[in-house]
Chain A
Amino acid sequence: MVEKIQPGDAIHPGKPVTVDRYGPGARVNHWITAASLILLAISGLALFTPSLYFLTSLFGGGQNTRALHPWIGVVLFLSFFVFFFQLWRANLPERVDIIWLSKIRDLLSGHEENLPELGKYNAGQKFIFWAMTLLILVLIGTGVMIWEQYFAEYFTIPARRVAVLAHSVAAVLIICIFILHVYAAIWTRGTLRAMTRGSVTGGWAWRHHRKWLRELAGQRKTGPAK
């Protein structure tokens, strides 16, 4: 299957070449999701451990934190799943991902040239995408079950105990994944602009996602020069 080029991805010739990677819609979605996840992590951690309870003051106290957290969760769920449908096709696993993963040491030691050429996403990015997807589904599902104000009464107390445990485990995992995601974007220099300006340099695409760049060049998805 030829990886479909995502709508909106396009090359702009110049010095350096720039490549559109995320349109305004995807970026807005990303930042709504990111802001929600950060707020959820802060408010959730405040209720997870007494040593972080003081964080509730950022939301106007414990009662407000308790009331706001689930609503922020709904925002995250909706924004993430709009995002999901924009990205899922490009995140389907391929055989090349296994080869890439088997050579991950080369990546970390600065020998990215030994790794196979990749489409729009590498195996690490795909892992983050699917892990986020799965964890957000778990979190929204269990979160509804323990949403005391509206839904908790429809579930038995033993079910709610399972839900609150699953919710906290999933939350810990998603925070770890979030840290990995943010750090990978920082470590791989030139990545952050994909989510701010929406574009990356041609060199970045050549280095990290060469197959994607070749496909864009080959299909003449070349926009006007800047």
Chain B
Amino acid sequence: MSDSPRTAVSNPPTQPMQSNLGQGDLIRRSATADLPPPTRQLTAVAKLIDVSKCIGCKACQSACVEWNDTYPEVGENAGVYENPHDLTENMFTLMRFTEWVNPETDSLEWLIRKDGCMHCADPGCLKACPAPGAIVQYSNGIVDFIHENCIGCGYCVKGCPFNIPRISKADHRSYKCTLCSDRVAVGQGPACAKACPTGAIVFGTKADMIKHAEGRIADLKSRGYANAGLYDPPGVGGTHVMYVLHHNDKPHIYANLPDDPKISPLVQGWKGVTKYVGIAAMSMMAVGSVIHGVFARPNRVAPEDEENAEKLVEGKPVPPPNDATTSGGR
């Protein structure tokens, strides 16, 4: 078996298999500074979603629910095609439908984008996460939530540039697409890619997927989509879920796909300078207090202070107010 699966279409072998993703494959682990270097470098994988081939059948959603054994609530029809209405802790991927009038052709284009975790090379969720080992990144590019380590704080939600993680109200843990890490670990591709009837979702090495996308983009350009392109946003170091968009010059028309996603500077500042300056400031206050306490003379009440207080209470003469300023605001 090769280190990373090359396709999602193959069927699994019938004999039991060992997982091919282990602790030695981690390149990042949340809230962990001393992660040992990975024991090997896996070939980077990617899922490519060709928006122009998608027919909105939601087979990917069904496959996702089936494989991950989640039970999305039965919802209500609100007059839109999205079902459920948003990603949830039980729905890791969602077809988002946009009716867009192309101003150049004045024709209605029905844009369908499969939303879900993009598996960023520089994951904001992982950066924000305070719980050691709750979010990990494998050397093949998959970003995975390890639920037993998750504390449900919601920091990943703030870190994510794509609004993907959802916190369960039932078990207070965060959920999202795993890129079927458990399938990839045994040489299979993601369930959604396997289920897709039109080949809009394909899976393989990232290099192969970029090459595949180039062919698709050339085809789209030949059909008049001059701005067709690959969505692999550099602001997050590239992603391991990529889109072929027929209008790659304006990703936002696809249900608010960010044009230039990056980890928010607020999150960077919170996890960066605030943390280091904050810890330094608190430590200096504490250490400074101890040093002052040890070396400086304490401010003690003198015996004459007590005597003066006694005289004052007994109505005997005491030193007058020491200057006119003591009258304060009177």
Contact = CB atoms under 8 A, between A and B. Distances in A.
Please indicate whether A and B come from the same complex rather than being unrelated chains: yes
Interface of A: 1-3, 11, 13, 15-17, 46-51, 53, 56, 61-63, 65-67, 94-96, 99, 107-108, 110, 112-113, 116-119, 146, 148-149, 152, 157-158, 160-162, 164-165, 168-169, 171-172, 175-176, 179-180, 182-183, 186-190, 201-207, 210-211, 213-214, 217, 222
- The number of chain B residues touching the other chain, given as a range, is 35 or more
Contact of A203 (B172, B267, B269, B308): B308
A53 B269 CA distance: 20
A67 B173 CA distance: 12
Contact of B330 (A1, A186, A189): A1
Given A119-B328, A206-B312, 19 more contacts: A1-B330, A63-B172, A108-B296, A110-B299, A116-B322, A117-B326, A149-B169, A158-B264, A160-B157, A164-B155, A164-B266, A168-B278, A172-B282, A183-B289, A187-B293, A201-B306, A202-B313, A203-B302, A207-B301
A99 B324 CA distance: 11
A210 B155 CA distance: 51
Given A172-B281, A187-B293, A202-B313, A50 B301 contact: no
Interface stretch (B146-154, B210-218, B246-254): B146-154
Interface string B101-122: 0000000000000000000000
Interface of B: 31-33, 130-132, 149, 151-155, 157-158, 163, 167, 169, 172, 264, 266-267, 269-270, 274-275, 277-279, 281-282, 285-286, 289, 292-293, 296-303, 305-310, 312-314, 321-323, 325-330
A7 to B, nearest CB: 20
Contacts of B274: 165, 168-169, 172
Contacts of A210: 321, 326
A34 to B, nearest CB: 16
A151 to B, nearest CB: 11
Q: For the complex of A and B, list the 10 residue pairs with the smallest distance between their C-beta atoms, beginning with the closest.
A: A202-B309, A203-B306, A62-B151, A148-B154, A203-B305, A50-B31, A172-B278, A117-B326, A183-B289, A96-B328
Nearest to B305: A203
B153 A47 contact: yes
A119 to B, nearest CB: 7
Name, among B32, B131, B152, the residue most crowded by chain A CB atoms within 10 Å (CB to CB): B131
B305 A63 contact: no
Contact of B131 (A62, A117, A146, A183): A62
Given A116-B326, A148-B167, A187-B292, A217 B313 contact: yes
Contacts of B305: 202-204, 206-207
A206 B309 CA distance: 6
Contact of A53 (B130, B309, B326): B130
A45 to B, nearest CB: 8
18 contacts: A50-B32, A53-B31, A66-B172, A67-B172, A95-B325, A116-B322, A117-B322, A148-B157, A149-B152, A161-B270, A164-B158, A168-B270, A188-B298, A201-B301, A203-B301, A203-B303, A203-B306, A214-B312
Given A63-B172, A161-B267, A211 B301 contact: no
